[in-house]
Amino acid sequence: VRRNAGEPEFHQAVREVLESLGRVVAKRPDYLEDALIERICEPERQIIFRVPWTDDKGRVQINRGFRVQFSSAMGPYKGGLRFHPSVNVGIIKFLGFEQIFKNALTGLPIGGGKGGSDFDPKGRSDGEIMRFCQSFMTELYRHLGEYTDVPAGDIGVGAREIGYMFGQYKRLTNRYEAGVLTGKGLFYGGSLARKEATGYGNTYFTQAMLQTGGSDFDGKRVVVSGSGNVAVYTIEKVQEFGGKVLACSDSSGYVVDEGGIDLDLLKEIKEVRRGRISQYLRMKGEGNGAYFVKSGEGSIWDVACDVAMPSATQNELTGKDAKKLVANGVTAVGEGANMPCTPEAIRAFQQAGVKFGPGKAANAGGVATSALEMQQNASRDRWSFEKTEAKLAEIMRDIHDSCYSTAEEFGAPGDYVIGANIAGFIRVAEPMRAFGVI
């Protein structure tokens, strides 16, 4: 704790994993040798750097950039970049730590890392975004490479930002190294279905959890928080599976549409206009069973539903929210975001017998498809949407099944948190032991 002072989210993420590992070392005390568990909790390398850039008024702005290269036991560091004013080293470390186990669960050869900046893209022009991304990459590029570290998007970083960063990487290195970033545009090495992958993947995972109880999404009332990349494609897949998505949100508030969220309208607002969720009501017209609740005047988790899919940010769903959801009859929760549920919320769900899919398993579809993008880049190939989605569906099924069976094997049937932590840990621990003390 002293070494990582002022990093509460990192402590939270580590504590959750360590709580599960007691069951592993009880069976396999050899995992305590050579400080293996302590080593996994310490990043291999962390880079913090200045990002100077010029805004549209000609003023110089300074932001801070981060890249935490957490573990390369399974392959090159892999994990997204987040641009959000709340970013600090503790946030990036929690995300990087989670990423190690998530990436291991995919069964693909990728290590764990995460990065980003406290830059706030909201309200910034295209030119400002471009200059920021170029400056950010001007420092970061020397730490990247398709065999070293392969970033992707996250909050505030989508195809536009990846395009600017890839362009700058190419210019600085004089290398068209497609495999150095994922989430690229389709016309320069991106993969079909990558944009959809995290939301679709969480829907596949949650569907698999529902199926263990003989149920599925058909006819279910679903609440999805957020309205960014993960939320939009969660809504798309849930609707395809026959569920009705009643509500979604952004940091300004949440919208409820009793008739089911109009996905075309949502995409128009979020993907085309880069607008706010409050515009939904204005564009749809009031009095159609839709209403908007401003942030601070209510919680999206007050909306009664059968399935909750938090897909915005960390610690957005508290113990109080969880109790409300349980009282309203929720039966399954799939985390689309990273660590969106507080420890109290997770406890409340599990005590009530709600099926709970932790982010490191449920939202692994994004990074898994990023690894598929790397495969396509390495073989100079391009797969169809259907082929990529079929692989994603298979990977999510495998992740579900390995969490499920590991939880059973370690005496915690139905506990996907324990299953994910243990299955991910064992996969990373084995190569670490093989490599010796490094």
| x/- track of binding to ligand NDP for residues 316-345 (CB under 6 A) | x-------------------xxx-------
Question: What sections of 289-410 are H helices per DSSP?
Answer: 319-327, 343-351, 359-362, 365-378, 385-409
Question: If binding is defined by CB under 6 A, does position 358 make contact with ligand NDP?
Answer: no
Nearest to 428, CA basis, from 11, 24, 16, 4: 24
User: Which one of residues 113, 226, 358, 419 is an interface residue with ligand NDP (CB under 6 A)?
Assistant: 226
| Residue span binding ligand NDP (CB under 6 A) among the ranges 51-59, 249-257, 298-306, 373-381 | 249-257
The CB density around residue 45, as the number of other CB atoms within 10 Å, is: 13
Q: Does 78 participate in catalysis according to the annotation?
A: no
Nearest to 416, CA basis, from 367, 355, 368: 355
How far apart are the C-alpha atoms of 88 and 109, rounded to whole Å? 28
Contact call for residues 298 and 225 (beta carbons, < 8 A): no
Question: If binding is defined by CB under 6 A, does position 153 make contact with ligand NDP?
Answer: yes
User: Which one of residues 71, 227, 234, 376 is an interface residue with ligand NDP (CB under 6 A)?
Assistant: 227
Question: If binding is defined by CB under 6 A, does position 111 make contact with ligand NDP?
Answer: no
User: Which one of residues 12, 54, 173, 251 is an interface residue with ligand NDP (CB under 6 A)?
Assistant: 251
Q: Nearer to ligand NDP by C-beta: 198 or 350? A: 198
The CB density around residue 417, as the number of other CB atoms within 10 Å, is: 24
> In the complex, what is the shortest distance from the CB of residue 275 to ligand NDP, in angstroms, rounded to a whole number?
10
Query: How many positions of this chain bind ligand NDP (CB under 6 A)?
Result: 23
> In the complex, what is the shortest distance from the CB of residue 231 to ligand NDP, in angstroms, rounded to a whole number?
6
> In the complex, what is the shortest distance from the CB of residue 2 to ligand NDP, in angstroms, rounded to a whole number?
27
Provide the residue count of the chain: 438
Among 78, 114, 237, 244, the active-site one is: 114
Q: Name residues whose C-beta falls within 8 Å of residue 355's C-beta, 6 or more positions apart in sequence.
A: 209, 210, 212, 213, 331, 332, 333, 414, 416
How far apart are the C-alpha atoms of 418 and 307, rounded to whole Å? 21
How far apart are the C-alpha atoms of 346 and 314, rounded to whole Å? 13
| Residue span binding ligand NDP (CB under 6 A) among the ranges 18-26, 141-149, 214-222, 224-232 | 224-232
Question: If binding is defined by CB under 6 A, does position 313 make contact with ligand NDP?
Answer: yes
Q: Name residues whose C-beta falls within 8 Å of residue 272's C-beta, 6 or more positions apart in sequence.
A: none
Question: If binding is defined by CB under 6 A, does position 312 make contact with ligand NDP?
Answer: yes
User: Which one of residues 156, 357, 358, 419 is an interface residue with ligand NDP (CB under 6 A)?
Assistant: 156
Note the residues at the interface with ligand NDP (CB under 6 A).
Answer: 153-156, 198, 226-231, 250-252, 311-313, 316, 336-338, 363, 366
Which positions are catalytic? 114
